[in-house]
């Protein structure tokens, strides 16, 4: 991403203001800057730690990855002034979302967090869900356009908006298995009664994916929960494991190297 000399001057000037805690820098807009290509994001994050004036930070489309999210999460643990942080249209993923979720366990000033279109799967969504259960300050996390289940998104929205729980629903951690392909490996592992078999099976499978989050094939139509409930024999479980891995292989999903 190429930026003009004027944009570069604006970027450097803005970060200097944040670093020296300039009272005029209350709303920072850096949309479209490739802040992770050098040490710019690291400098910005370190400058935010002790800043007491920045209230709103816009970083839409700044090529921020999980690494950048870790830097921002580190700053959020200590920052006491930032109320709104917008990170839409980046590449944070579930790993980055997990880091941001951890920071929410310490931060008590952030009110809104924008994470639209960041390739966040169920693992990251569930980490954010745990965080909003602990953090009663944050009032909105925007998650449209990610890869997580709509049920996770809706539950986060319900909690942050203060809506009462639907008593008709079963325990949230037990997922429905109508369309297995929409869940990543951690979601499926967490939804079965006994986790050992699914953990071993899915743990041995790795898809060529930037987050290493396996996306289950539509062809895999086995109901793991039913198998465990019916107490299938070891022989049938071994056959099921073999057939599952075989179908993943047909979708160009390769086993990872054993550790």
More confident residue, 191 or 57: 57
Residues 104 and 198 in one domain: no
Q: Report residue 108's pLDDT band, with 50, 70 and 90 as the boundaries.
A: very high
Residues 29 and 117 in one domain: yes
Distance CA 3, CA 86 (A): 21
Residue 117 sits in a domain whose CATH number is 3.80.10.10
- The number of distinct structural domains making up the chain is 2
Residues 45 and 116 in one domain: yes
According to the model, what pLDDT value does residue 241 have? 58
DSSP string of the chain, one letter each residue: ----HHHHHHHHHHHHHHHTT-TT-SEEE-TT--TTSSSHHHHHHHHHHS-SS--EEE-TTS---HHHHHHHHHHHHH-SS--EEE--SS--HHHHHHHHHHHTTT--S--EEE--SS---HHHHHHHHHHHHH-SS--EEE-TTSSS-HHHHHHHHHHHTTPPP-TTS--TTS---S-GGGSBHHHHHHHSSSHHHHHHHHHTEE-S-TT--PBPPTT----HHHHHHTT--HHHHHHHHHHHHHHHHHTT-EEPPP-
Residues 128 and 222 in one domain: no
Residues 49 and 124 in one domain: yes
Residues 113 and 203 in one domain: no
Residues 17 and 145 in one domain: yes
The chain-wide mean pLDDT, for the chain, equals 75
From 160, 191, 218, give the residue that closes a domain: 160
Question: Is pLDDT at 8 greater than 80 in this prediction?
Answer: yes
Query: Is residue 82 in some structural domain?
Result: yes
Q: Report residue 164's pLDDT band, with 50, 70 and 90 as the boundaries.
A: confident
CA distances to 52, 80, 92, 162, 218 from 26, in Å: 9, 13, 25, 28, 48
Please give the residue range of the domain that contains residue 146: 5-160
More confident residue, 160 or 166: 160
* Centroid of chain to Cα 27: 25
Residues 186 and 126 in one domain: no
Residues 122 and 227 in one domain: no
Query: Is residue 65 in some structural domain?
Result: yes
CA distances to 60, 96, 146 from 139, in Å: 20, 20, 19
């Amino acid at each position: 991403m190429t930026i003009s000399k004027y944009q570069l001057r604006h970027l450097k000037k803005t970060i200097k203001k944040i670093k020296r805690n300039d009272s005029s820098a209350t709303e920072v807009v850096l949309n479209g800057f490739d802040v992770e290509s050098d040490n710019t994001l690291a400098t910005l994050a370190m400058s935010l730690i002790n800043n007491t004036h920045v209230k709103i930070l816009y970083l839409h489309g700044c090529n921020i990855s999980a690494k950048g999210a870790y830097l921002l999460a580190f700053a959020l643990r200590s920052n006491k002034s930032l109320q709104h942080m917008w990170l839409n249209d980046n590449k944070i993923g579930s790993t980055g979302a997990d880091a941001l979720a951890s920071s929410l366990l310490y931060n008590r000033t952030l009110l809104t967090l924008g994470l639209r279109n960041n390739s966040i799967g169920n693992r990251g969504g569930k980490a954010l869900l745990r965080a909003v259960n602990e953090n009663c300050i944050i009032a909105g996390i925007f998650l449209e356009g990610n890869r997580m289940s709509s049920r996770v998104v809706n539950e986060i929205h319900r909690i942050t908006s203060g809506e009462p729980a639907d008593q008709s629903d079963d325990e949230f951690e037990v997922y429905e298995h109508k369309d297995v392909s929409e869940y990543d490996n951690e979601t499926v592992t967490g939804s079965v009664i006994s986790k050992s078999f699914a953990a071993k099976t899915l743990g041995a499978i790795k898809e060529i994916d930037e987050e290493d989050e396996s996306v289950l094939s539509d062809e895999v139509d086995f109901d793991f929960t039913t198998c465990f409930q019916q107490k299938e024999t070891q022989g049938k479980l071994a056959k099921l494991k073999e057939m599952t891995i075989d179908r993943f292989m047909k979708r160009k999903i390769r086993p990872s190297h054993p550790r």
